[in-house]
């Protein structure tokens, strides 16, 4: 479904992506792991067109992601941003139903609100949250609202950018379980980027490790611990000793 071929991206002298080759089949949950600053976010932003790669091709369903109707392309995606990226000036329900209140997927206001409340319920939030502003919510609640927004239009493909960053272990577990449940029940194709190994084990069907601008290792999550790749092994065990430099 999503295929990246030799994707490269540099910022000045900093070569972040040096030739990414990755395939995410339809309905699969791919988790991309890697240390901070290895270009994980740039990778998914390249697929969405938020960042333009310097070289390489990105295909979705065999079609070049940079060509064709941009709105129709983006309508297939949902995205949970690292910090939630909720719109401060809008109440929670309007954040969740943002896509349903404008553009090709526009619905009547009442219907959009009902869908928003239903999605909020799906992520474990009560209807009274709907009329609050994002600033009035805790970090965990904001993540859930972001998750509700990502699934509101029932997209085919969902990206999760560091879904548990900044959350306590219990809330991280709740968010991980929610993502796994939603992905399974929606049958969506997903890409998650994280360095939280508990997220990896809960969410992933397959894992890809990004290191030094390339996919260092990829395979089923069940093979991750026994893969024998020294980079992967160091990352999974969290060891300071190994081929990945601790000081970057």
Partner 1 sequence: MSSIAHIGAATLAMLAAIGRIAIFAGQTASHLIRPPFYFKEFAQQLLQIGYFSLPVVGLTTIFTGGALALQIYAGGARFNAEAVVPQIVAIGMVRELGPVLVGLMIAARVTSSIAAEIATMKVTEQLDALVTLSTHPMKYLTVPRVLAALIVVPLLTGIGDIIGILGGFLVATKTLGFNEAAYLQNTADFLQTSDILSSLAKGAVFGTIAALMGCYYGMNSGRGAQGVGAATKASVQAAAILILAANFILTGVFFSA
102 is an interface residue for partner 1 by CB under 8 A: yes
Contact between 83 and partner 1 per CB under 8 A? yes
Q: Are 132 and 52 in contact (CB under 8 A)?
A: no
- In the bound state with partner 1, the residue whose beta carbon lies nearer, of 26 and 106, is 106
Dihedral pair phi/psi, residue 37, rounded to 5°:
80, 15
Least distance CB 231 / partner 1 (angstroms): 28
Kindly tell me which residue out of 12, 52, 104, 247 binds partner 1, with binding defined by CB under 8 A.
Answer: 104
Go through 195-220 and write b for each residue having 16 or more CB atoms within 10 A of its CB, e for each that does not. bbeebbbbbbbbbbbbbebbbbbbee
For the chain, first and last CA: distance in Å?
34
- Find the part of the chain contacting partner 1 (CB under 8 A) among 77-85, 114-122, 216-224, 226-234: 77-85
Residue with tokens 């990896």: 200
71 lies in the site for partner 1, by CB under 8 A: yes
Of 16 and 209, which CB lies nearer to partner 1 in the complex structure? 16
Instruction: Compute the least distance from the CB of residue 27 to partner 1, in Å.
Output: 21
Looking at the Cβ atoms of 104 and 247, the one nearer to partner 1 is 104
By CB under 8 A, is residue 247 in contact with partner 1?
no
Closest to partner 1 by CB, 46 or 202? 46
Q: Kindly state whether residue 85 participates in binding partner 1, applying the rule CB under 8 A.
A: yes
Question: CA 217 → CA 14, 79, 151, 174, 232, distances in Å?
Answer: 22, 25, 29, 28, 7
Query: Which positions lie near partner 1, rule CB under 8 A?
Result: 45, 48-50, 70-71, 74-75, 77-79, 81-83, 85-88, 98-99, 102-104, 149
């Amino acid at each position: 479904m999503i295929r990246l071929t030799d994707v490269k991206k540099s910022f000045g002298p900093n070569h972040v992506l040096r030739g990414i080759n990755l395939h995410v089949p339809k309905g699969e949950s791919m988790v991309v792991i890697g240390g901070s600053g290895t270009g994980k976010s740039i990778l998914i932003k390249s697929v969405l067109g938020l960042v333009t790669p310097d070289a390489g091709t990105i295909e979705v369903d065999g079609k070049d992601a940079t060509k064709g109707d941009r709105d129709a392309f983006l309508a297939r995606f949902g995205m949970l941003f690292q910090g939630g990226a909720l719109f401060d000036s809008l109440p929670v329900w309007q954040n969740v139903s943002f896509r349903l209140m404008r553009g090709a997927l526009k619905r009547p206001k009442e219907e959009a609100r009902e869908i928003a409340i239903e999605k909020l319920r799906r992520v474990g939030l009560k209807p009274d949250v709907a009329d609050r502003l994002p600033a009035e919510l805790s970090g965990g609640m904001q993540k859930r609202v972001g998750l509700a927004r990502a699934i509101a239009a029932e997209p085919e493909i969902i990206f999760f950018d560091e879904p548990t960053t900044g959350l306590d272990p219990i809330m991280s577990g709740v968010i991980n379980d929610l993502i796994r449940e939603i992905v399974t029940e929606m049958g969506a194709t997903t890409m998650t980027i994280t360095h939280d190994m508990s997220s990896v084990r809960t969410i992933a069907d397959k894992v890809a490790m990004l290191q030094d601008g390339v996919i260092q290792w990829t395979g089923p999550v069940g093979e991750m611990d026994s893969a024998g790749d020294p980079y992967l092994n160091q990352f999974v065990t969290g060891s300071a000793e190994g081929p990945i430099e601790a000081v970057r």
